Amino acid sequence: MIYHDVIVVGSGLAGQRAALEAINNDVDVAIISKLKPMNSHSVLAQGGINIAIDDLDQNNYFEDTIKGSDYLADQDSVEILVNNSKHEIEFIENIERIFDRNNDGEYSPKKFGGAITPRTLRASDSTGFSILNILYDQLLNSKVKIYEDYQVLKLITNDEQISGFIGLNYNSTNSNCIELFSCKSLVLATGPSGYVFSNTTNSSSCTGDGIALAVSAGAKLKDMEFIQFHPTSLVGSNILITEAARAKGAYLLNSDGERFMKNYAPEQLELAPRDIISRSMIKEIIEGRSFSDLNEPYLHLSFTHFEPEFIKNNFNDIQIVSREFANTDITKHNLKIVPAQHYFMGGISINNSAESNVKGLFAAGECACVSVHGANRLGGNSLLECIVFGQIAGRSAAIFSKNSHKIFITDEDSHISKFNKELSECFTNSSNNNILYISSLRNDMRSIMTTYAGIIRDENNINLGLMKIHNLKNLIHSNQFKSKSSHPNISEISEFFELSFMIELSEIILLSALNRKESRGAHFRSDYSSRNDNDWLKHIIIQKINSTYDISYSPVRITTLNPDVRNY
């Protein structure tokens, strides 16, 4: 059995920041990841990262984030995010100056959606990659042990405290691929869950593993109904066109050639928060002001009002992506775009020390919910959350491990053989009528979620979605998946767990969406179309107790800013 004091699951921005902080606290630290660290999803973040530019901006940034969250974010947590932004950006910049600067050598931030002043720093078009690259270099030069190509399949607890987990070693032989790890504290930093939806900017690795692992270990989840849909993805492929495009002046147009955002957000126009823009786009589509010559209706993102030279200097990456993936020259033609699932505001419920309710279990990054984004995240706030709360999680996990005794997982062999036996029972290499194919169930699940848990929801549709997801869940429990041999191989095991995780998440998202009978931020219910602070200024908490989901509520922590009308 492999032992480390602190194990961080996930080698993206949050995980690497957590591991680097933990190792500075004189404990034995490992990081384990199903992807190679520099393939983590954080590398895709092009847009930028937010910082409170100066003391005055600290308050503006706080207020923008709370208003952007539709007043659901916990204000003491947002204070931590904002107040630590300068320190964490300096941590990066002290290693290497990567952020764009003006001729005077000062930061040249951009104004992103929902912000009243420019505060989004960019490292050219590769902010996420550049930050992760710096951290990875530090990690390679540290004593942190890195296990890459390992997927965590199940957490192990003793007396409601984390003691370890079962992992799948991708580089092993089929018969020895299941391994046992033990630790005193565990940080889950497993990133996004967007592959639950068929229309997503997330890649196929974003299967919500950490959230599903945590809920099965007794952890509480929070805000799971709040799913962000980004306004601008390429029609068909859902490749993201970064918000930086609109920050630098690109327009959204409907089929009448009108900048329709003036009807929804007269002041901020294309720089309103994402929930408002995506919903406005759906309204334009429903009311027939979209284009309909393709399989799905779409709208336009326009750069044609810029000089070609300006486009070349400012939108180089977008120009390349548009040419290669949409066959469009943006100097001459508009881009065809649709909203697509992009980000989970909800996740593993943690406090301001990044602790979950399970002893020894911590979380950070997109799989966690502290909650700084509430019902809608502002662009640039996720990367910042990853490093601010990644650092906090690493420190908390290290302190916890120093103050606690090692819990021994006894009988390693029987743990593994029991797990292998249960696994084998889920697969068969024989052919019969009840055989299941992972890819087919996965496709069904993803289209169910896109249809029933999208931008506009109502009770009937959510219930229909739930019924269909329950059918898939029952199938998994009563039938067997097709395997190439008598025991499943590594990729079959990996995909089986990812599918199970996503089906669990789908059910939880729909349950939360059904429960919240109001519209707030990214959660819009056509049958309860207004925000209702009297009844719903609270978080929905979900916990799995004896295989059923218990729903409870926690109040929103308000320090200074009372809920107000949200005009842009």
Judged by CB under 6 A, which of 84, 130, 151, 319 binds ligand FAD?
151
Judged by CB under 6 A, which of 113, 191, 347, 454 binds ligand FAD?
191
Does 128 help bind ligand FAD (rule: CB under 6 A)? yes
By beta carbon distance, the residue nearest ligand FAD is: 12
Q: How far is the CB of 151 from ligand FAD (least distance, A)?
A: 4
Bond from prior residue into 371 cis (ω within 30 degrees of 0): yes
Determine the interface stretch with ligand FAD among 7-15, 59-67, 214-222, 278-286 (rule: CB under 6 A).
Answer: 7-15
Q: How far is the CB of 25 from ligand FAD (least distance, A)?
A: 20
Does 214 help bind ligand FAD (rule: CB under 6 A)? no
Does 44 help bind ligand FAD (rule: CB under 6 A)? yes
For CA atoms 211, 217, 219, 225, give the dihedral sign: positive
SS3 state at 25: coil
Nearer to ligand FAD, 85 or 190 (CB): 190
Judged by CB under 6 A, which of 69, 202, 341, 376 binds ligand FAD?
202
| Structure tokens belonging to residue 325 | 């993936």
- Assess contact for 289 and 281: CB atoms under 8 A: no
Nearer to ligand FAD, 79 or 125 (CB): 125
Q: How far is the CB of 529 from ligand FAD (least distance, A)?
A: 28
Q: Footprint of ligand FAD on residues 446-475 (CB under 6 A)?
A: none
Q: 402: how many CB neighbours lie within 10 A of its CB?
A: 14
**C-alpha separations of 157 from 92, 216, 224, 459 in Å:** 35, 10, 24, 37
Residues 484, 490, 494, CA angle at the centre, nearest 5°?
A: 110
Q: How far is the CB of 187 from ligand FAD (least distance, A)?
A: 11
Does 11 help bind ligand FAD (rule: CB under 6 A)? yes
Q: What are phi and psi of 341, to 5 degrees?
A: -55, 140
Instruction: Pick the closest to residue 501 from 244, 206, 286 (CA basis).
Output: 206
Q: Under rule CB under 6 A, how many of the chain's residues touch ligand FAD?
A: 42
Q: How far is the CB of 173 from ligand FAD (least distance, A)?
A: 19
Does 386 help bind ligand FAD (rule: CB under 6 A)? yes
| Structure tokens belonging to residue 433 | 């009528």
**C-alpha separations of 394 from 13, 160, 354 in Å:** 12, 21, 9
Binding mask 252-291 for ligand FAD (x = CB under 6 A): ----------------------------------------
Q: What are phi and psi of 57, to 5 degrees?
A: -70, -20
Does 42 help bind ligand FAD (rule: CB under 6 A)? yes
Determine the Cα–Cα distance for residues 7 and 166; give it in Å rounded to an integer. Answer: 13
Nearer to ligand FAD, 369 or 466 (CB): 369
DSSP letter (8 states) at residue 175: G
Judged by CB under 6 A, which of 9, 80, 135, 211 binds ligand FAD?
9
| Catalytic residue status for 274 | yes
Judged by CB under 6 A, which of 30, 46, 177, 326 binds ligand FAD?
46
| Structure tokens belonging to residue 366 | 């997109």
DSSP string, 392-417: HHHHHHHHHHHTSPPPP---HHHHHH
Does 483 help bind ligand FAD (rule: CB under 6 A)? no
Does 365 help bind ligand FAD (rule: CB under 6 A)? yes
- What 3 state SS string does 450-472 have? HHHCCCEECHHHHHHHHHHHHHH
The one catalytic residue among 122, 274, 377, 520: 274
**C-alpha separations of 553 from 134, 223, 512, 540, 564 in Å:** 40, 10, 11, 5, 22
Tell me the CB-side half-sphere exposure of residue 115, using CA atoms within 13 A: 27
Judged by CB under 6 A, which of 240, 363, 397, 499 binds ligand FAD?
240
Does 378 help bind ligand FAD (rule: CB under 6 A)? no
Judged by CB under 6 A, which of 152, 277, 462, 493 binds ligand FAD?
152
Instruction: Pick the closest to residue 222 from 453, 538, 461, 454 (CA basis).
Output: 538
Helix axis angle, 127-140 to 381-402, nearest 10°: 20
Does 339 help bind ligand FAD (rule: CB under 6 A)? no
Q: How far is the CB of 404 from ligand FAD (least distance, A)?
A: 23
Judged by CB under 6 A, which of 366, 492, 507, 518 binds ligand FAD?
366
Does 139 help bind ligand FAD (rule: CB under 6 A)? no
Q: How far is the CB of 504 from ligand FAD (least distance, A)?
A: 13
Does 219 help bind ligand FAD (rule: CB under 6 A)? no
Determine the interface stretch with ligand FAD among 37-45, 83-91, 277-285, 289-297 (rule: CB under 6 A).
Answer: 37-45
Does 40 help bind ligand FAD (rule: CB under 6 A)? yes
- 276-292 core/surface letters (b: 16 or more CB in 10 A; e: else): bbbbbbbebbeeebbbe
Does 193 help bind ligand FAD (rule: CB under 6 A)? no
| Structure tokens belonging to residue 269 | 């126009």
Give catalytic residue positions: 274
The residue ranges that bind ligand FAD (CB under 6 A) are: 9-15, 32-35, 40-42, 44-49, 127-128, 151-152, 189-192, 201-202, 209-210, 240, 343, 365-366, 379-383, 386
